[in-house]
Amino acid sequence: MFTDQPAVNFENPARDPLGREHIGGRVVAGEEHLLIFWEYRHNVFRDEGPRTVKIPYESVDAVEFQCTLLFWNPRLVITLTNPEPLASIPGVETGKATLHLSGSNLRDACRRIISLTEFRRSEAQQQQRSQRLDALTRDSSP
């Protein structure tokens, strides 16, 4: 059991001149889900509170840390097999979220998130396989 849940902060800039889609938040590798807490930033047009997106580990396809030369523009790229959980977040592609990271010690935090996500994903896949195998053995027995 993990007691420390690794997390990183992100800040995605607005894509329009009025700044309506400027969002910020936090990605947390939780016990049962990959959690994305986000809210609109510096927006007078929307007075909405923070939102939470729960992504089951079995639907995570890949989590990557990317940056340009000399650690400029660090990003966390989350790719899903089911694009539905990311539909409510502005500025994401279908099934793929590129989050611009902010803060310090990002490389180590992202490494912990990626390794924990891969471990939890493999656990979820193993559980699904064992459930399918149990269902097949129950169906084939007389």
Q: Select from 90, 73, 104, 107 the least CA-distant residue to 36.
A: 90
A 10 A CB-CB count for 57 gives 21
pTM of the predicted structure, to 2 decimals: 0.83
Both structure tokens of 55: 């992504």
CB-CB contact of 8 with 109 (8 Å): yes
Residue ranges of the domains in the chain? 7-140
Mean residue pLDDT of the chain comes to 86
The model's confidence at residue 21, banded by pLDDT at 50, 70 and 90, is confident
As a three-state string, the secondary structure of 33-59 is EEEEEEEECCCCCCCCCCEEEEEEHHH
**Would you call 69 helix, strand, or coil by DSSP?**
helix
Q: What is the pLDDT of residue 15?
A: 79
Torsion of CA 11, 93, 55, 52, to 10 degrees: 40
Q: Which CATH architecture has domain 7-140?
A: Roll (2.30)
pLDDT band, residue 1 (cuts 50/70/90): very low
- What value does the mean pLDDT take over residues 76-92? 90
